[in-house]
Amino acid sequence: MGISPRELLRTGERVYKDLGLGKRELSDDELIRLMAENPDLIQRPIVERGGRAVLGRPTEKIRELL
């Protein structure tokens, strides 16, 4: 996708605020673990086609896969 795990976080979610993620320095592995444990943290939709994937925000990004 070409973005970091932090860029994939939904910063408006309550769990983001409850975990203090805006104030904490975490490794990519730690962020990925937190996203696996708290799927609400992940922006969506993520659209896959073949070996590529894009975050569907803005929706024009989806055209990159078509």
> Tell me, what DSSP letter sits at residue 66?
-
Q: Work out how many domains the chain is built from and give that number.
A: 1
- Cα separation, 44 vs 9, in Å, equals 10
Each residue of 10-54: pLDDT tens digit? 999 999 999 999 999 999 999 999 999 999 999 999 999 988 899
Q: Is the pLDDT of residue 59 over 90?
A: no
Q: What is the CATH number of the domain that holds 60?
A: 3.40.30.10
Q: Is the pLDDT of residue 64 over 90?
A: no
- At residue 34, the pLDDT reads 97
CA angle 25, 26, 27 (to 5 degrees): 135
The number of residues making up the chain comes to: 66
The kind and range of the H/E element at 47 are: strand 46-49
Backbone angles phi, psi at 42, to 5 degrees: -90, 125
What is the extent of the structural domain holding 25? 5-65
